[in-house]
Structure 1
Amino acid sequence: MTQATTNQSERVRQLRDILVDVLEIEPDELTETSDFVNDHGADSLLAIDIISSIERDMGVCIPSEALPEMTDLSAVLGLVNRYAPEAGTDA
């Protein structure tokens, strides 16, 4: 397993832990595509909690403008990958 694969696996594990905690759901209820709003009853306040937890626990700052993109685990992982410090900020 490459370092990048290990880092990605660890990132997914951390995100799952954060999302299960913030959404107050069981781990098996969270899939890559389960919708935070429709499947888990999330609202904008929970989305802000998710962003805050990601910043605190993972050191990744996701801008509030990205809130509408945070629809499921897969989308949040994409945002974390985009805004992670090692991704760089050159756009």
Structure 2
Amino acid sequence: MDFEKMKEIVVEQLDVEENEVTLEAKFIDDLGADSLDLFELVMAIEEESGVEIKNEDLPSVITVQDALNYVANN
């Protein structure tokens, strides 16, 4: 998955502006996600990428870059 596709998912799921979604943006601190938002975001990323994000790995997926790296490496 590339950054543009990830950005599209994040904008749709978190209802944020495209310019707010950067590689360094933190889902909770910068983009205002709560636990339900994160659950829905993970589901959308999994559906789009075909990669399951394991519950035990979720604490390490903090930024948009973290999510991209996770999908690329799993």
Counting matched residue pairs gives 74
Which of these two proteins has the greater Rg computed from alpha carbons? 1
Q: What runs of 5+ residues in structure 2 fail to find an aligned partner? A: none
Structure 1 distance, partners of 2:39, 2:22, is: 20
Moved over 4 A (4+): none
The answer to whether 1:74 aligns with 2:65 is: yes
| Correspondence for 1:50 among 37, 41, 45 | 41
TM-score scaled by length of structure 2: 0.86
CA RMSD of aligned residues (A): 1.4
Cα drift, residue 15 of structure 1: 1.0
Structure 2 partner of 1:14: 5
Q: What runs of 5+ residues in structure 1 fail to find an aligned partner? A: 1-9, 84-91
Instruction: Write the deviation string for residues 20-69 of structure 1: whole angstroms up to 9, x where unpaired.
Output: 11111010111111121111111222121111101212211111222111
Structure 2 distance, partners of 1:62, 1:54, is: 9
Higher RCO, 1 vs 2 (CA within 8 Å, ≥6 residues apart): 2
Structure 2 distance, partners of 1:59, 1:40, is: 24
TM-score scaled by length of structure 1: 0.72
Paired-residue identity, %: 31
